[in-house]
Structure 1
Amino acid sequence: MPKATPVTRNDVAQYAGVSTAVVSYVVNEGPRPVAPETRDRVLEAIRVLGYRPNATARALRMGTTRTFGLITPDGGNPLFAELAKAIDKEAAARGYVVLQTGADGDPATEQSKIAELVIRRVSGLILVAPTEDLDLSDTDIPVIAINRVLSTVSSVRPQYREGARRGVEHLLEHGHRRIGLVIGGGRSGERELGWRDALLAAALEDGPIARTTFSRRGGYDAGRELLAATNRPTAVFASSDLQAVGVLRAIHEAGLRIPDDIAVLAFDGTAETEYSWPPLSVVRQPLEQMAREAVSRLIDGQGAVEAVTYPTELILRRSCGC
């Protein structure tokens, strides 16, 4: 069966009784104004005939694809999934679409994905928790980082240190004096510093630390490590939701009660924490605000390189004793 001939701009013009130039003005929203009744006839012709403008050609004419490239380190992490959804919503409200891909936290992969998106002529790049040794010198489009500071582009992130401090202070208010930390990475980040700030202000020594990956398995292994300590903590602050879920499993398997025997509080605040057992108390990242800021800066211009931070929200549920 022969393929149907694609509908052209000439077909639309003939059906609407206008010139092809008028069709172009309607499709491209300019550069010349079109009378409302004429515009309605053109739109009706487009609907009836099923005309589909060439998006690539239109982008080349307008100098923009109205598309953002979004690179996340782990597409399976609920935090990044919720952040991507918030970014997509904000972009759509401004007439942009989002092309998302993952880098698995690998610098070489991330650099390659950036190059691919630039070739596709995206209008801007959003890098979520990017690796720190990225080379963006040849990138001639707007770039913004989320959840990590880069020296060459503006960034948006939560107030990690302040949020972690508030979370640990809440555990202290429940009477806990030995608070363990489950943290990702091998160095002192802002969440670890916030944990130390709270303990220092209470004149307490640091509790035990378990360093692991930002994953459920990592949290599970870290939880077992902390529970096996001679003087196990009475509360645990986990630097991510996924780690906290793993810690919960380790505690349940040990036959301990949450929060009676050991309390848990996490940093991130994804929807997953509402449905763990017990529901997790969390320091919630301001995902919607960060998404709005990132999209706005890409579209409206960024000015000087700036690191923007937003306050977190402490949400209290059963895992801490509330």
Structure 2
Amino acid sequence: MTTPASSASGRKRTTRTDVARLAGVSTATVSYVLNGDANRVSPETARRVLDAAEKLDYRPSIIARALKTGKTGMLGIVVPDITNPYFGELVEQLERGATEYGHSLVVNLSHGLADIERTRVEELSDRNVDAIFLSPAQNDAELGALTRQGKHIVILDHTSPIGDMKCVSTDFYQASYDIAAHLLGHGRRRAAMLFGDEAALSDQRVMGWTQAHRDLGLPAGPVYQSDFTREGAYQITVNLLTRPAQERPDAIFAASDLEALGALRAIHEAGLRVPEDIALISFDGTAETLYTWPQLTTMQQDTMQIARCAIDAALRPDTTPDVQLVPAKLIIRRSCGCR
């Protein structure tokens, strides 16, 4: 039978008492050294403690640390889809940032479903993670309920404040405005936007797209729901390209790299050329855009800066604003018509 201090394999887990015994010091001295307060002991003593901890393969108990400090050293994140290259790159940057602060990152998926997302948030809360990053499937009212439950959550990809939660996002409005202006600057007058969710007028990406047209005295290009997927964008584009030449779009803004890939396939299959017949710009700027033909002009989200802002909001909330908007950068390649 294993004791509470034993591992699953039956081997007794090393404690601070074991380290203190081998180093010939008190357990308080071990605590000073291992908690980063080694200036309270001599360098020689600190070295003996560290050597003893290494020889015994000492690993501090997360539970014990949490009881003492109120912190577990764990952060959680819930994203809709880890196969989306944008979320993959964002999670990687968050994991790197968490490591710099001595934290680990626990990754969960919601599959874009609000019920699953709520369950994952509860599970992470039950594990007493120090903060949760959430790219939400829930609406604002549902998210507001989380703040009333006292959960420490940082909302990603959301540009307006929600309750007491911090929000970190790309500046979607400006990014979409700049994309529309760029396409219109090429003389395109039948531009269409492929957007993942229902194209609510309040979405910042749709608002930026619409305002850029208005500022040039043009009717806003239509917005089509394509579910942030290759398949959705492919099918929408196939349908658009069955129209007579004078009615089909001469430019497409795909609101994600995945949607751009689907649209690009449909354009090629229709025997049309990018950018000569249809200009194409994607949003996200992941590595996928480097390996298409032609290479995609893309509005690149700064995942490194988003992660830094999110980590600060999670671990140093008193020093960060409620909403942080990170600028995106238009990466010019060939698919928009630039040379």
For Structure 1 versus Structure 2, the TM-score category normalised by the shorter chain is over 0.9
Partners of 1:317 and 1:164 lie apart in 2 by 17
User: For the Cα contact (< 8 Å) 1:182–1:243, is it kept in 2?
Assistant: yes
Q: What's the offset of the Cα at 1:305?
A: 7.4
Greater Cα offset, 203-212 or 190-199:
203-212
Aligned to 2:3: none
Pairing partner for 2:207 from 193, 198, 201: 193
Partners of 2:136 and 2:310 lie apart in 1 by 13
User: For the Cα contact (< 8 Å) 2:210–2:221, is it kept in 1?
Assistant: no
Q: What's the offset of the Cα at 1:72?
A: 0.7
Structure 2 residue identity aligned to 1:136: L
Mapping of 1:42-121 within 5 angstroms? 42-121=49-128
Aligned to 2:150: 140
Mapping of 1:277-288 within 5 angstroms? 277-288=293-304
Partners of 1:53 and 1:208 lie apart in 2 by 57
Aligned to 1:24: 31
Partners of 2:337 and 2:227 lie apart in 1 by 26
Partners of 2:251 and 2:103 lie apart in 1 by 45
Partners of 2:288 and 2:252 lie apart in 1 by 18
Mapping of 1:1-322 within 5 angstroms? 3-30=10-37, 33-132=40-139, 133-134=142-143, 135-148=145-158, 149=160, 151-152=162-163, 153-186=165-198, 187-188=200-201, 189-230=203-244, 231-302=247-318, 306-322=322-338
Across the aligned residues of Structure 1 and Structure 2, the Cα RMSD in angstroms comes to: 2.0
User: For the Cα contact (< 8 Å) 1:160–1:190, is it kept in 2?
Assistant: yes
Per-residue CA deviations over 1:186-233 (Å, capped at 9, x if unaligned) read: 223221222222222222223343222111111111211221223111
Partners of 1:7 and 1:161 lie apart in 2 by 54
Greater Cα offset, 130-139 or 86-95:
130-139
Partners of 2:94 and 2:313 lie apart in 1 by 12
Partners of 2:75 and 2:190 lie apart in 1 by 46
Give the number of aligned pairs: 321
Gapped regions of structure 1 (runs ≥ 5): none
Which secondary structure state, in structure 2, belongs to the residue aligned with residue 233 of structure 1? coil
Q: Label 1:22 to 1:141 Cα distance change in 2 as closer, same or farther (>3 A).
A: farther
Greater Cα offset, 7-16 or 115-124:
7-16
Partners of 2:314 and 2:205 lie apart in 1 by 28
Q: Label 1:49 to 1:305 Cα distance change in 2 as closer, same or farther (>3 A).
A: closer
User: For the Cα contact (< 8 Å) 1:234–1:262, is it kept in 2?
Assistant: yes
Q: What's the offset of the Cα at 1:28?
A: 2.6
User: For the Cα contact (< 8 Å) 1:16–1:45, is it kept in 2?
Assistant: yes
Which secondary structure state, in structure 2, belongs to the residue aligned with residue 108 of structure 1? helix
Q: Label 1:150 to 1:114 Cα distance change in 2 as closer, same or farther (>3 A).
A: farther
Per-residue CA deviations over 1:167-196 (Å, capped at 9, x if unaligned) read: 111112222121111112222322122222
Q: What's the offset of the Cα at 1:33?
A: 2.1
Which secondary structure state, in structure 1, belongs to the residue aligned with residue 146 of structure 2? coil
Q: Percent identity?
A: 39
Per-residue CA deviations over 1:230-274 (Å, capped at 9, x if unaligned) read: 311111111111111100000011111111111100111111111
Partners of 1:312 and 1:297 lie apart in 2 by 20
Structure 1 residue identity aligned to 2:278: I
User: For the Cα contact (< 8 Å) 1:16–1:41, is it kept in 2?
Assistant: yes
Q: What's the offset of the Cα at 1:76?
A: 1.4
Per-residue CA deviations over 1:108-163 (Å, capped at 9, x if unaligned) read: 11111111111111111111234222321454342210102452112111111111
TM-score, structure 2 length as denominator? 0.88
Which secondary structure state, in structure 2, belongs to the residue aligned with residue 318 of structure 1? coil
Which secondary structure state, in structure 2, belongs to the residue aligned with residue 144 of structure 1? strand
User: For the Cα contact (< 8 Å) 1:28–1:58, is it kept in 2?
Assistant: no
Structure 1 residue identity aligned to 2:150: D
Structure 2 residue identity aligned to 1:24: S
Partners of 2:222 and 2:240 lie apart in 1 by 7
Partners of 1:245 and 1:68 lie apart in 2 by 33
Structure 1 residue identity aligned to 2:334: R
